[in-house]
Amino acid sequence: MREIKFRGYSTSLKKWLFGFVRKMPNFEIYFIDGEISNTVRKESIGQYTGLKDKNGKEVFEGDVVIAWSQGQKEICEVKWGQGRVGFFLYRSPNVVWHLSGGGFDYTFEMIEIIGNKYKNPELT
């Protein structure tokens, strides 16, 4: 089983928060990170895939990665399946790689995080 957690960017704290999402009655989205409870930008929220990149960094939905396969490399965004179950690497508009849920092998040497769609929109 993989660890279930999320990350979101807090503009007031100017940092990423990791933990669980709690939606409040006033429709603000709060993150619970240990003792910290703070609002985060909705568009920055991404779920942990349960995988790490070649440098040991946790891979989250919304990360932009370099993916290597059979000597070729692609810049892709990590997304939850669009009509499919699992996390995938997308290079608009196509799926390049299936990260979870079976069907394809995954090794830590295959991807490297280079940014994320929230902080680095020019990469997507």
Q: Measure CA 20 to chain center.
A: 14
* Claim to verify: residue 90 and residue 119 sit in the same structural domain: yes
* Claim to verify: residue 73 and residue 111 sit in the same structural domain: yes
Residue in 3, 110, 8 with CA at minimum distance from that of residue 53: 110
Check pLDDT > 50 for residue 97. yes
Residue in 41, 57, 58 with CA at minimum distance from that of residue 49: 58
Domain assignment of residue 22, yes or no: yes
The H-or-E segment that residue 16 falls in is strand 15-23
Q: Per-residue pLDDT tens for 20-75?
A: 877 766 666 666 666 556 778 888 889 998 888 889 999 999 999 998 877 778 88
* Confidence at residue 63, expressed as pLDDT on a 0 to 100 scale: 96
Count of domains for the chain: 2
* Claim to verify: residue 64 and residue 20 sit in the same structural domain: no
Domain interval for residue 79: 48-123
pLDDT-derived band of residue 100, with 50, 70 and 90 as boundaries? Answer: low
* Claim to verify: residue 60 and residue 92 sit in the same structural domain: yes
* Claim to verify: residue 31 and residue 80 sit in the same structural domain: no
pLDDT-derived band of residue 80, with 50, 70 and 90 as boundaries? Answer: confident
